[in-house]
Structure 1
């Protein structure tokens, strides 16, 4: 009887571990690439590659949606950066993706000008990459619910850095415990909420919300600041001093962006 109980307990623990592992696997993995460009010629070459070669190839190789965003005209880095958001179902899918592209003959043909660009005429200055994992309470990305013209929209990409790993984890907990719900209630139509696995500004979380225009965006933040739930959460001791730096990017989606 004692051995039976021990075996049953062992099976129960094993099931819990397997269940926990499966839940973790259900959180999307995101690659966020930032292309730094220095000229209209580079921007044109990059746009052509992304629209005609990369995104179609991503679709063929298991990535349903790719987001491409640029700084709005009022931003100091307008015309200098292009953001590419690529969601994957797992780390294994992310790791296999590049190899699939290199075997895709249509991609290699359609992307030839970019892939085989001359050393003295590169399509960008450099690329930054961050690898992210969807938060537990928002594990999957979602296309924006907005229906107005893409050129009028404001997509807000934020990075919150924590002064320590412990305080960073508390900020992640704050998002999972109610902060995301406020954005949803206010109609901010989030694309993703994520923890950074690898990147230049760790420890940090990142998220993207969407707004019909700048006026609506400003009104959303005004409402957020006086929201009773937010006021309640910000005054809880465990959530204080969790952000040491807020990096905000105001972007718009390209016409060929899936998101």
Structure 2
């Protein structure tokens, strides 16, 4: 793939920052347009702002889904202007064919076990359990994380970052995703510090041994979907429709500890391999 933008910006990480930033700004603009359109039609029907607010809350995952999907399609087409491939997205999927390494599955299972053992999920006695809403939350959560992953990997294919800059790369993506999610979807407080930590875990696993886009599969199955959609931590609906809730709340500090443990274990394992 030809990297024409490198002629102007001779630093891959800077290119990532600018293009990933454009993707997130695009997400903000698409979301703003959708909310403005919805508000306009509600006002035409003489609905007051409390009705509009309730509608936005009920349809928040639908709005987020459309926002992410539209932004993803536009962003990939824009970024791939600099690609010489005729089918860059297909090539991206085929190019990362190896799938996540066993360690990634083990890490994600470890996080799930931590949630089960420490959080002790119980049946949600106050929730209005809805299979449709749970499925909606699962699909929305999957797209929310997967869209970021595909944009990042597209950038990585076009403008590969040196491995010694992986730490900066992981922090950059995670912080940017967190700040934009928190401010774009300002009508919810669900994108808290724990979302930042989960983003750090995702991008850390994504670049662990260059496992590829399939890293998102164990992360979604064992971490994001259980935490958000099943255990009452949905960023929009909280535990309103979740079948379970944590008996012992898992705070951001706990996920930070998990991230540190994963990092230390990976570093220790890598050091042992190099010493042999």
Higher helix share: 2
Same fold by TM-score greater than 0.5:
no
Higher relative contact order (CA 8 A, sep 6+): 2
Question: Could you tell me the TM-score, scaled by structure 1's length?
Answer: 0.23
Higher strand share: 1
Question: Could you tell me the TM-score, scaled by structure 2's length?
Answer: 0.22
